[in-house]
Structure 1
């Protein structure tokens, strides 16, 4: 039984920075990873998907070259080289993450599967090697999440793809069916449409990205329609079958029964926490109905000394929030700084479809549900000088402000480089800059950010 000051299960975007912080205090850390250093973000999430999306955008721009007065000949997408470029970026980032951890003499990296033996001990099951028994006063759980696969008749017997395996394709699908119209489905659907696939997106909800305001969903639907991406909503998939090289999804909608056949099927119906097979039942860790580990303000579970961070603990499922969990946990647990809290923290996110969809704070539906008074402003990109110059006129900026304090309550940015603009508004919210100060701020011309002047000038009473 080897003794450490801390054991961390999962070398993801909470586990890695937490290990470094604890190690920098001169404490010994065992960092256990069963798959690959870097977690979902580096290996099959943010880094590879955004690398592939960049390739898809280049293909899209080449297809539109004539709009800019540039004549090009025939072009084609080499899916093998797209994958090769993606693999290079993943290897680069994974290697950098590993080197960063290896610099610390206090961190011991162990590749294997961690299983709790008691509230202070873990067994590490290593393929081709003997198991290890570890002990620590504090154990942190950060295994992340995995694709959620729905229970649809015939699906398990059919060669479907998930958000990881689709990035291993070396051929461009002739017709990609995407089951799920959320953020993952939209990113991959548009990406492969630009690679040259016919794409059909199907979702049970009444609209794409239903967590967003109706006008946002309508604009995204309009953009996808213009790019000839077929979308079907209010669809209940009933059965999946695979015959003669074709995969078919039988469904029911408000008009009756129907089916769609294609060459490939991507199941993008969300993710689930990786809380199973850790032996949590052995020590009595409490889970939510959805399988998340229940934690308190200190990220401590129902078992004292055992903590959980990131996706598995029900934190917002974004890399930057997992990283922030590590920052908060370290400061609260090891530095005693309980003034820092995960309660009411702003949650930014960006969906890397094109144009980008970025959010911070409240949208209109949330404000109405919480009965929070607000004024709203919207500025369409078709009126933005920078957007017109670059011919990127899809989407809009939208902001909610407090009628009394003039503080920004939230913003949705659907535009080119939307995530960058959202970050500007996030800083304004943290700095408590009133919206009308931004309205009259001299912002460099011609930039996309100067459209914030116009946005704030559009603020008016909500309906």
Structure 2
């Protein structure tokens, strides 16, 4: 049985950079992957979905071509070409990731399912059933997460779609039903609406993106309504059946309602991929929801075992998984360890306009009793958005009344994620809002609206 200085379970957005970092120290690394190199981001998440979002945006722009003076007699969507383009991007990114790993002689890529035989021994089962064992001085778990499928009567017997399988469609759904109004559901809802599907969202909550401020939720709901997307709130699906189409028996405040559609996307969240790791053979502990318990440095109760990314309950974003690799590496191999609680967590939802957020929003500040002042600037008043006719949404910021530093921001705007990064750097650097208010930002850009935003603070 071969012993490695480090074993990494999962070649995702923590596992890959971590393996490279460790190998640069001259240490031996075994990187175990049961499916494909790249993890969810490259294969099922960020890369393929945002590629398809871009295709849907082109369709949306084409549908508005006359507004810009370009007259088109007709156009059509070819879902097979959309899928082919998506597949090309996935293969390109996956191939690049795998090539960069395989050229590193200190990293052994081992394909198969990994499970702990004991706290230092990993059993690897290949697709053909062949079993082998390796041991490691340090072990890092980056097995990610998977779609959560609720236990609803009849659902398991139907050809429902997940966030992974919906991207394999070669036809445009006539009527797409989406169970769940979270970020994943919203991206696919707008995407397929723009491809030409009738879309209905069924959500248990009382509003979309309920963790955002109420004005953000209202604006997104208005945008979706304008694009013809139907939403049903406070609704619980009780039964699902399929016969030449789906029928969802749904409990609503007004009683039971049957909703019919051609396709069903189950977008009810994700669960950590921890159930089949053999953790019962170690002292590693799980939370009630199946996440691996770690300390502030991603170390488990077994001091030589770390857990990173979704499986450890970190914020479910690629950039956080990547940063987890930095935290675990620093703690395990360097002396200048940093805590996961010391970082700001930005995120961007790739609806159109994009929704980006960092730090506190109003409802969080109020719940925590944190004093704040707020500013808001509507995109319909921004020169750049008027020029490109993308005037939906707004910039919003919360600041500390005394220090004048930024507490948090929500950007619902064209290229919102790009603007968010500017504010993130301002927060890290301690730049005050009054400094930004008078900063000479290049014109005409979207970023210069930050001047106007900071000028609105009261």
Q: TM-score, normalised by structure 1?
A: 0.98
C-alpha contact 1:295 1:302 (8 A) present in aligned 2: yes
**Counterpart position of 1:444:** 442
Tell me what 1:256 maps to. Answer: 255
Q: Is the aligned partner of 1:400 residue 2:395?
A: no
TM-superposed CA distance for 1:128, in Å, is 2.1
CA contact (8 A) 2:180 2:268 kept: yes
Aligned residue number for residue 119 of structure 1: 119
CA distance in 2, matches of 1:15, 1:132: 21
Partner of 1:367: 365
1:304 deviation in Å?
2.3
Structure 2 partner of 1:320:
319
The match for 1:185 is 185
Contact 1:219 1:395 in 2 (8 A): yes
Q: Using the alignment, how far apart are the partners of 1:433 and 1:120 within structure 2?
A: 47
Give the alignment of 1:31-430 within 5 angstroms: 31-128=31-128, 130-243=130-243, 245-338=244-337, 340-430=338-428
CA contact (8 A) 2:299 2:328 kept: no
Q: Aligned ranges for residues 14-29 of structure 1 at < 5 Å?
A: 14-29=14-29
CA distance in structure 1 between the aligned counterparts of 2:381 and 2:104, rounded to whole angstroms: 52
What number of residue pairs does the alignment pair up? 458
**Structure 1 Cα separation of the partners of residues 298 and 396 of structure 2:** 34
Q: Residue 120 of structure 1 contacts residue 135 of structure 1 at CA under 8 Å; is this kept in 2? A: yes
- SS of 2:62's equivalent in the other structure is helix
Structure 1 spans left out of the alignment, 5+ residues: none
2:80 and 2:267 mapped to 1: Cα distance? Answer: 23
Cα distance change, pair 129–251 in 1 and its aligned pair in 2 (3 A): closer
Kept after mapping to 2: 8 A contact 1:298/1:333: no
Contact 1:328 1:341 in 2 (8 A): yes
Partner Cα separation in structure 1 for residue 9 and residue 415 of structure 2? 35
Segments of 4+ in structure 1 off by > 6 A? Answer: none
Distance of 2:297 and 2:361 partners within structure 1: 29
Deviation track 1:70-129 (CA, whole Å, cap 9, x = no partner) reads: 111210000000000000000000000001111211000001000101111101101226
Distance in 1 (alpha carbons) for counterparts of 2:237 and 2:444: 47
Alpha-carbon separation, structure 1, partners of 2:287 and 2:432: 39
Q: Give yes or no for contact 2:14–2:324 (8 Å, CA) kept in 1.
A: yes
Per the TM alignment, residue 297 of structure 1 is displaced from its structure 2 partner at its CA by: 2.2
Deviations 1:354-393 (A, max 9, x none): 0000001000011011100000000000000000000000
Which position in structure 1 is the counterpart of 2:11?
11
CA distance in 1, matches of 2:130, 2:207: 51
- Structure 1 residue 283: Cα displacement: 1.2
Shift of the alpha carbon at 1:336? 1.6
Unpaired runs of 5+ in structure 2?
Answer: none
Return the offset for 1:175: 0.1
> Which string of whole-angstrom CA distances, capped at 9 and with x for unpartnered residues, describes residues 131-156 of structure 1?
11100111110000000011111100
In 1, distance between residues paired with 2:402 and 2:188?
A: 42
Structure 1 residue 423, shift from structure 2 partner: 0.4
Asked if structure 1 preserves the Cα contact closer than 8 Å seen for 2:377 and 2:396, the reply is yes
CA distance in 1, matches of 2:261, 2:335: 56
Q: TM-score, normalised by structure 2?
A: 0.99
- Once the 2 structures are TM-superposed, how far is the Cα of residue 199 of structure 1 from its aligned partner? 0.2
Give the distance between the partners of 2:449 and 2:365, measured in 1 at CA. 24
The aligned residue for residue 431 of structure 1 is 429
SS in 1 for 2:363: helix
Q: CA deviation at 1:60?
A: 0.3
For the aligned residue pairs, the C-alpha RMSD in angstroms reads 0.7
SS in 2 for 1:53: helix
Does the aligned pair in 1 maintain the 2:207–2:217 contact within 8 Å? yes
